[in-house]
Amino acid sequence: MLSEDLKKQRTALPEPAPGDDPLLRLQEEMQPSDDDVRARCTTHPEELTITGTTVMCSRCNARRDWMVICDRNEVSIRCRCSDQWVERELGRADFEAMIDSGGEDFPSLEAAARAAGYDGTLVGAYLS
């Protein structure tokens, strides 16, 4: 049992604003999107820092020039060497914040990767 002194020292945490509630954010991300598109992607030419750590490819040690893929609620990062991994720290809301307007439709993720040069043919090349 806690003593009365310890109970008094505790401070109450402030109530989160409705937009800051992590449970609401998770619920929104888990809802299917309104359109029929299952996977969307965008390129990110600069370094990508997630939770204070710069993303680095485990295969070729690249530190920039990524393809970011959102497959429903799962975000993946793909390198020019074609190495791809799921990034658990990013959600659909994060992807939506970084995607550009416009873009081009492709029949598959492989076709998009090939067209953008993320299929391994441009490994080691950094485009400006």
> Does a structural domain hold residue 16?
no
> Does a structural domain hold residue 17?
no
- Domain with 87, as residue range(s), is 37-116
pLDDT reported for residue 88 = 92
CA angle 5, 9, 13 (to 5 degrees): 145
pLDDT reported for residue 54 = 94
Q: Is pTM, for the whole model, over 0.85?
A: no
Per-residue pLDDT of 39-90, as tens digits, reads: 788 888 899 999 999 999 999 999 999 999 888 788 999 999 999 999 999 9
More confident residue, 126 or 69: 69
Q: Mind giving me the DSSP string for 52-72? A: TEE---TTT---EEEEEEEET
> Does a structural domain hold residue 78?
yes
> Does a structural domain hold residue 43?
yes
**40-71 per-residue burial string, b: 16 or more CB within 10 A, e: under 16:** bbbbbeeebeeeeeebebeeeebebbbbbbbe
Per-residue pLDDT of 89-115, as tens digits, reads: 998 888 888 886 555 667 788 888 888
Q: How many domains does the chain have?
A: 1
